[in-house]
Amino acid sequence: MDNKSKIKSQKLKWRQTLILCMCYVSAVYSAPALSRNEPAGAVWIHYPGDYEIWLGNEMQNRRTERGAFYPPFWKMDSHYVLVDFLKTVELSQAEEIEIYAEGRYTVRMDGRYLYDVRGKMTVPAGTHTLVIKVHHQAAPPSILVRGKTIRTDATWQVTIADNQWTDESGRPYDVSSAASRHPNAAASAFDDPTVLPSQYRMATMPQRAVHSEEKGKGLLVDFGRETFGYVCFHRLKGHGELNIYYGESPEEALATATCETLDRIPVDHSTPRTLTLDDSRAFRYLYIEQDPGLAFDSVTMLYEYRPLEYRGNFRCNDELINRIWDMAAYTLHLTTREFFIDGIKRDRWVWSGDACQSYLMNYYLFFDTDVTTATILTLRGKNPVINHINTIMDYTFYWFISIYDYYLYTGDADFIRQYYPRMKTLMDFCLSRRNANGMMEGYPGDWLFIDWADFPMSKEGELSFEQLLFCRSLETMAVFARLAHDDSQAVIYEQAVEKLKPALFSAFWSEEKKAFVHNRLNGIPSQQVTPYTNIFAVLMDYLDASQAQTVKQRVLMNPDALKITTPYMRFYELEAWCKLGEYTSVLKEIRNYWGGMLKLGATSFWEKYNPSETGTEHLAMYGRPFGKSLCHAWGASPVYLLGKYYLGVKPEKEGYKEFSIRPKLGDLQWIQGNVPTPEGDIQVYMDHKQIKVKAGEGKGTLYFNSRTKPKTDKGTVEPDGTGYRLTIVAGEEYSVKGSF
């Protein structure tokens, strides 16, 4: 499933000017390729999803708060500690193989234990079945086997139940996903036998500070913009404690008593030498205070990053929008690590609701499917299910919905089929918690998040928002059940949707307010109209044209309606505006809201932004003066909005087998950019007189309006409602002229 290499070899010859040059990114491109050992093709394999769960535990348990360990508060699962790997080989001649393992292993050939395997063995000519069984507690049991023809790869099978080579639902499967979807695979082919899987790390490169100055008893160091990595002290000498206070703002770094992260490092260097800290942190500023007995020459850092190709891009005539797109892309890059995380300073955790948005942005920027599936798998964990994902009911539903997005953008039906049992058991958990009305209310310990809001919002009774997401999750599961050939279960999901969808309207649609109300308690609907259900009903096409218009007027575009203050929910709000045709309004909002952060000096986008706040108010959150994350994945949504609604590209069938292009200028003079697809990309240019498109794969349709009769240099423009359409054949470049 990994098409990276194919894509990397494609030359983007068309409109080279589109290629965005960002200093850090170009450096990533020029980093030397990691050495790969021969023969190619042998990779570390493990039980599907186990590496992701293990790595999720490792990464999320790296959070500290003022030096103290700060682990996640949800249940964390573990890998299987005893795993069998199987391969049947047919050899025309005997072959020597090397066996590498993370864990203690034993080899059976044709059912017989081999007593003298010490990392090497000879497989005789003929047909033979090899089974390698590995035990390891501290990290997932893994193997890498390589010979002339025998290599661990997607054709090996895996099991935790001796001689039962089936998945959780009893169907045969292989470890193809395990082999190709390694979360760090973007950094390496995961094929180095000298590096155990648990030892793989992300890439690093040195970065220098842009400014340093003495402040009080210490030194304030500025790295120029938000960054992430390991601080290095050069020619550090002496005995004493080194105190490093990290800040996303200078105020935070200088606030030694209240900054969110710090390190206190005991040093005992008799001769000057470099000290690189063990833990990576997020910061722009460092404030360093040391004991009098300590001295160092300079401070640099090792930037730690996921090597990613910027496959999507966007440019237009408005430099503010371009700057916003660039910073959104950088924000998404910083938060795209072993997994998609929320913010790099504080949590460094994987949250389903946040990730769901990162996935969508990723489809318009990196199209990195490894990090997407890794995030989906670590969020899911293992059975039995005892809590919602991240303990949040809405986050469970986003998990289902995000997998549908994954399927739509990538066409990866194998992934759906392989992990369908885990989807089904999570949905079983939801179904078992329905109330007498077939709706889901919070159980003790459940968190009903929806959004951080500045107005009071009830979480009691049946929340319309949760039922809406639940209904879409059930629709999603019906699709997956069909894909997994579990037709009887698909019928169960379809019937549940047929009951729940009308119940949504009868319970929560207010004919008086012409909108969905917030909740129903003891059978009585509330009078409060919050934006959330209404936004999502638009996005999910649950409303008819008339309902959509009243929702637009009374809720979405109503200046007196309740206000959203997080970029998290703004993501969906602005997407709904786009769906309702408000392209100019959305650009205006992007300029105001994201441009507002830029004006305040942001170098990445924030967890929350309230234009009415001033000064250090912008840094506070959760009752803490520097509690707010200034680099938060959900702040990067312009990448998604500009790609999907201005370049106008989206898949209509899974994996871009069919797609549509609906380019929109809004108030811009021209736009141009690339949208990545599984095996190529789609290139779009538009100004008031010309639209140019080219697609690398799939069957596309360009939809547009024109005040004059349009002309094309290829194909046939046909009328489509009040506008026009043009069929796009892969590999062909189209130019349409008209008045747009």
Residue 168 or residue 687: which is nearer to a copy of itself going by CB? 168
Residue 160 or residue 413: which is nearer to a copy of itself going by CB? 160
From the list 36, 104, 653, 711, which residue makes contact with a copy of itself (rule: CB under 8 A)?
Answer: 104
From the list 29, 36, 37, 71, which residue makes contact with a copy of itself (rule: CB under 8 A)?
Answer: 71
Residues in a beta bridge with 266: 241
Q: Can you point out the beta strands (E) in 571-708?
A: 649-651, 658-661, 670-677, 680-687, 690-695, 699-704
Residue 67 or residue 206: which is nearer to a copy of itself going by CB? 67
Residue 627 or residue 715: which is nearer to a copy of itself going by CB? 627
With beta carbons less than 8 A apart as the criterion, state whether 91 and 124 touch. Answer: yes
Q: What single string gives the DSSP state of each residue in 605-621?
A: --S---TT--GGGGG-B
Q: Round to the nearest angstrom and report the end-to-end CA distance of the chain.
A: 39
Closest CA to 452 of 622, 636, 248: 622
Binding string, 28-67, against a copy of itself, x = CB under 8 A?
Answer: --------------------------x--xx--x---xxx
Residue 350 or residue 576: which is nearer to a copy of itself going by CB? 350
With beta carbons less than 8 A apart as the criterion, state whether 578 and 645 touch. Answer: yes
With beta carbons less than 8 A apart as the criterion, state whether 332 and 636 touch. Answer: yes
Residues in a beta bridge with 693: 684, 734
Min dist CB 569 to a copy of itself, Å, is: 25
From the list 106, 298, 660, 727, which residue makes contact with a copy of itself (rule: CB under 8 A)?
Answer: 106
Binding string, 386-425, against a copy of itself, x = CB under 8 A?
Answer: xx---x---------------------------------x
Between the CA atoms of 162, 164, 169 and 173, what dihedral angle is there, to the nearest 10 degrees? 110
What one-character DSSP code corresponds to residue 343?
B
Task: With H, G, I as helix, E, B as strand and everything else as coil, classify residue 666.
Answer: coil
By CB under 8 A, residue 256 contacts a copy of itself: no
The identity of residue 654, as a single letter, is E
By CB under 8 A, residue 133 contacts a copy of itself: yes
Other Cβ atoms within 10 Å of 17 Cβ, number: 8
Min dist CB 387 to a copy of itself, Å, is: 5
Which of these segments, 71-79, 396-404, 466-474, 522-530, binds a copy of itself (CB under 8 A)?
71-79
Min dist CB 168 to a copy of itself, Å, is: 7
Min dist CB 337 to a copy of itself, Å, is: 19
User: Distance between CA atoms of 61 and 70, rounded to whole angstroms?
Assistant: 7
Min dist CB 112 to a copy of itself, Å, is: 11
What one-character DSSP code corresponds to residue 70?
-
Residue 103 or residue 229: which is nearer to a copy of itself going by CB? 103
Min dist CB 113 to a copy of itself, Å, is: 6
Binding string, 443-482, against a copy of itself, x = CB under 8 A?
Answer: -xx-------------------------------------
Residue 138 or residue 210: which is nearer to a copy of itself going by CB? 138
From the list 37, 163, 527, 708, which residue makes contact with a copy of itself (rule: CB under 8 A)?
Answer: 163
Which of these segments, 32-40, 99-107, 278-286, 449-457, binds a copy of itself (CB under 8 A)?
99-107
From the list 44, 85, 100, 105, which residue makes contact with a copy of itself (rule: CB under 8 A)?
Answer: 105
Closest CA to 332 of 368, 302, 299, 297: 368
With beta carbons less than 8 A apart as the criterion, state whether 180 and 3 touch. Answer: no
By CB under 8 A, residue 73 contacts a copy of itself: yes
From the list 116, 214, 268, 512, which residue makes contact with a copy of itself (rule: CB under 8 A)?
Answer: 116
Other Cβ atoms within 10 Å of 526 Cβ, number: 18
Q: Give me 13's structure tokens.
A: 């010859």
Contacts of 296 (CB under 8 A, 6+ apart): 233, 234, 235, 236, 237, 272, 290
Min dist CB 227 to a copy of itself, Å, is: 25
User: Distance between CA atoms of 678 and 496, rounded to whole angstroms?
Assistant: 33
What one-character DSSP code corresponds to residue 365?
T
Q: What single string gives the DSSP state of each residue in 182-202?
A: -TTGGG--S--TTS-GGG---
Min dist CB 445 to a copy of itself, Å, is: 4
Residue 67 or residue 124: which is nearer to a copy of itself going by CB? 67
287-326 positions binding a copy of itself, by CB under 8 A: none
Closest CA to 215 of 293, 290, 287: 287
190-249 positions binding a copy of itself, by CB under 8 A: none
Binding site for a copy of itself (CB under 8 A): 54, 57-58, 61, 65-82, 104-106, 113-117, 133, 135, 137-139, 160-164, 168, 383-384, 386-387, 391, 425, 444-445
